[in-house]
A and B are shown apart, each in its own frame.
Chain A
Amino acid sequence: MSLPRTLFEKIWDQHTIVTNEGGQTLLYVDWLLCSEGSIHAFNILRAEGEKVRCPERVFGVADHYPASGGPTMADVLDDERRNMIATLDRNTQQYGIQYFGLGDPRRGIQHLVGPEQGLAQPGVIILCGDSHTSTQAAVGAIAFGIGGELAHVLATQTIWQRKPANMRVTVEGKRPPGVAAKDVILAIIAKVGAGGAVQHAIEYAGSTIRDMSVEERMTVCNMSIEAGARAGIIAPDEKTAAYVKGRPYAPRGEQAWNQAVAYWNSLPSDADAKFEREVTLDATTLAPMVTWGNSPENALPITAVVPEPDSEPDAQRRAGMVRSLEYMDLKPGTRMTDIAIDQVFIGSCTNSRIEDLRAAAAIANGRKAIVPALVTPGSTGVKQQAEAEGLDRIFRAAGFAWGEAGCSMCVSMNGDTVPAGKRCASTSNRNFRGRQGKDSRTHLVSPIMAVAAALSGRLADVRDFLRN
């Protein structure tokens, strides 16, 4: 009898080529996506005289630098940025890699493109040269971000990895109204800590996760790395299969489909699989969340007040809090709902799928934003779908700007920036110092909370808008 294994371990074993003397495993990579940041990796390939081993398993996507103001190269802010996209154009062409560039209907944030194209499917290993690849693990895949290994994967279609420890986060119960998937993951990170899951792969389990749509699961998995985890994963089920079915790279033909589904059905963790760490969370007690500091772990319910550093016993953590509060210009004891904001951003690979936009539009419908607000769909596909449903008109009527697909203000590389000293309620995943622009101040929230903030000009409890 074989040892009981976790979902993660089963996929890991399925992709293991060899394990070396130091305990590192060489894994086969099914799919690789890369965006403009791959410039360094291609330079390494050139310097080392290597080629791309399997160009048909690699996809290039322009997502960080395209303008949200328009779809063409002429819309891109300046030559330096145009050059980043043009370099990706050239590199993908030179190495024969498939490319979703400007104007391609398949273009979007790479972590939306993988699932949309059906590349992300249960039991595969899919990697991107970008941290939030874990988004794609929501379908029951191993998916994580790589940096310096990108050149290695391009050249070998493999990656050396040390097997992470297993951690299970079990979330049980029905979410109260107004509590989004984003709030669930923020609550998990607040509980586990920003470095709390380092060297672990998290499996999310429990009724709350099972009840989520595949898109909601993506929001949860997206932020796994904000708890320090190497990866996050969710067991595939019928919802996953239904999600994958019919997509361009989904198994085609009845025989292939049945074979694939048989494999997918074998993947969920065995009942007695070993998890080194277990964390549980009761979803029924959650409220909409908001962050106050410069780490995603600095998340509290919207009903809370800005915390008092003096109440933190650990000196190192206390110093971190003081530093954050200074940067964020917040006073301990201030009610979250009294914090005035200057602008709102709805987008990023955390929260820019069609369901996110539908939920946000439902709150915005018939109301008016009183601060500048920007909505950028995560992919061209989402944009077209949203426009077909009239969501763009709802947003525009409510005073929100409606942009092209891309990373936009999540990381402000395309020029959509939060000015110095300004405060933004954002559906992205990182509230680091300067993340949305030099000296910008970010409060992470769910899409519906972002709308509530836009309508109120301050951080606000979306539940007040649900009751009306």
Chain B
Amino acid sequence: MDAFTTLTAVAVPIDVDNVDNDQHIPARLMRKPRIGKAYGGYWFHDQRFNEDGSEMPDFVLNKPGFRDARIVVAAKNYACGSSRLGAVYVHYDYGIRAVIAVSFGDVFYNNCFKNGILPVRLDEATVARLRRELHAQPGTTIALDLPQQTVTGPDGTVYPFDIDAFGKRCLLQGLSDIKLTLEQEPRIKAFEDKHRQQMSWLFQTAPQEGAK
């Protein structure tokens, strides 16, 4: 996984609340293999492209200035709904490395950390202000500093943000959380042994077919 430390890049505003993951990637595209950066082309597919594959000029990602965005500034409850991992892949494969929002769908938020994307929660007024600034000047950049936990807006204002320490470590070092957890194997094993005693009925041998 890519490590994340700092990033200064073009940001795209996504203004609406509750952008669900069926919008990020329609279900019918989820059976497509993820080869190269293929999923980048599926992001917002049904709002970005016409039936014939041509671009819909009104969609924000198709507007000059925003195409090369690597940061998203969204609104409330961003990427909610379906737990599909594809919702993170479409962002990553498009080139997005950070998302700033008032709030996120839980699963998407957690998935970001495992996929080299920094999710940042800021208050509603700040997020709305950032979006306004981006609309006013398409192509303008935002700076993110994960070690310092700051966002610097287009006008130079610095906003601090909170982030989970474990997720921060994974992102900074580009670590797989599986490897990190497996370092705890003796603890997991000890817990399992205790659990096996306390809730022994969950560890009974395979059941008879057709019970009940």
Q: Which residue of B lies closest to A196 (CB)?
A: B77
Decide: B108 and A435 in contact? CB cutoff 8 A.
no
Could you tell me the distance between the alpha carbons of A461 and B125 in the complex, rounded to whole angstroms? 42
Q: Is the CB of A24 within 8 A of B191?
A: no
Chain A residues with CB under 8 Å of B77's CB are 194-195, 198, 228
Q: Which residues of chain B from 176 to 212 have a CB within 8 Å of any chain A CB?
A: 176-179, 181-182, 184, 187-188, 191-192, 195, 198-202, 204, 206-212
Of the candidates B114, B169, B187, B202, the one whose C-beta lies within 8 Å of that of A149 is: B114
Q: Would A432 and B81 be within 8 Å (CB), given that A17-B184, A228-B105, A320-B18 are in contact?
A: yes
Which residue of A has the minimal Cβ distance to B190? Answer: A17
Query: Which of A76-84, A177-185, A206-214, A334-342 contacts the other chain?
Result: A76-84
The answer to whether A152 touches B20, judged by C-beta atoms less than 8 angstroms apart, is no
> Residue A249 at the B interface, CB < 8 A?
yes
Supposing A194-B77, A195-B77 touch, asked if A84 and B106 sit within 8 A by C-beta, the answer is no
Distance between Cα atoms of A128 and B87 in the complex (Å): 17
Contact assessment for A248 and B111 in the assembled complex, using a CB-CB cutoff below 8 Å? no
In the assembled complex, the Cα of A439 lies from the Cα of B46 at a distance in Å of: 9
CA distance A173 to B146 in the complex (A): 50
Measured CB to CB, the residues of A under 8 A from B are: 14-15, 17-18, 20-24, 26, 28, 30, 37, 40-41, 44, 48, 50, 56, 65, 80-81, 83-84, 118, 123-124, 129-131, 145-152, 155-158, 160, 162, 194-195, 198-199, 226, 228, 230, 245-253, 256-257, 259-260, 263, 295, 316-317, 319-320, 323, 411-413, 430, 432-435, 437-439
For A434, the chain B residues whose CB sits under 8 A away are 22-23, 26-27, 46
Chain A: which residue is nearest B15 at the CB level?
A319
B28 CB, min distance to chain A CBs, angstroms: 7
Contact present for B165 and A28 (CB under 8 Å): no
Contacts of A26 in B (CB 8 A): 181, 184, 187-188
CB of B182 within 8 A of CB of A156, answer yes
A230 with B166: CB separation less than 8 A: no
Bound-state CA distance A41–B89 (Å) is 13
Given contacts A14-B198, A23-B165, A28-B188, 6 further A-B contacts (CB under 8 A): A18-B184, A26-B181, A151-B178, A246-B211, A319-B16, A430-B81
Residue ranges of B at the interface with A (Cβ–Cβ < 8 Å): 15-18, 20, 22-23, 26-28, 30-31, 34, 46, 75-77, 80-89, 103-108, 110-111, 114-115, 164-169, 176-179, 181-182, 184, 187-188, 191-192, 195, 198-202, 204, 206-212
Chain B residues near A228 (CB, 8 Å)? 77, 80, 105-106
Chain A residue numbers with a CB within 8 Å of B201 are: 251-252, 256-257, 259-260
Contacts of A18 in B (CB 8 A): 184, 187
The A interface, classified by DSSP as helix, strand, loop or mixed, is loop
Kindly list the 4 A-B residue pairs having the minimum CB-CB distance in the complex, ordered from nearest.
Answer: A22-B165, A195-B77, A148-B111, A251-B201
The CA of A228 and the CA of B107, in the complex, are separated in Å by 10
| Cβ-defined partner of B30 (8 Å) among A37, A131, A155, A320 | A37
Query: Which of B46, B168, B178 interacts with A155 by CB under 8 Å?
Result: B178
Please name the residue on chain B nearest to A230 by beta carbon. Answer: B106
* Residue pair B31, A129 in contact (C-beta under 8 Å): no
B204 near A256 with CB under 8 A, answer yes
Instruction: Please report the C-alpha to C-alpha distance between residue A23 and residue B165 in the assembled complex, in whole angstroms.
Output: 8
Contacts of B169 in A (CB 8 A): 22
A14 to chain B, nearest CB (A): 8
Provided the pairs A21-B165, A23-B165 are in contact, do residues A149 and B31 lie with their beta carbons within 8 angstroms? no
Q: State whether B166 touches A147 (Cβ < 8 A).
A: no
Given A30-B202, A56-B206, A246–B212 Cβ distance below 8 Å?
A: yes
Chain A residues, CB < 8 A from B31: 65, 80-81, 83-84, 413
Q: By the criterion CB–CB under 8 Å, are A124 and B114 in contact?
A: no
Residue of A nearest to B169 (CB): A22
Is the CB–CB distance between B181 and A158 below 8 Å?
Answer: yes
Beta-carbon nearest neighbor of A21 in chain B: B165
Task: Give A194's nearest chain B residue, CB to CB.
Answer: B18
Q: What residues of A have a CB within 8 angstroms of the CB of B34 in the complex?
A: 40
A199 contacts B106, C-beta separation under 8 Å = yes
Asked whether B176 lies within 8 Å of A17 as measured between CB atoms, the reply is no
Could you tell me the distance between the alpha carbons of A156 and B177 in the complex, rounded to whole angstroms? 10
List the A side residues contacting B75 at CB < 8 Å. 316
Closest beta carbon of chain B to A468's beta carbon, Å: 37
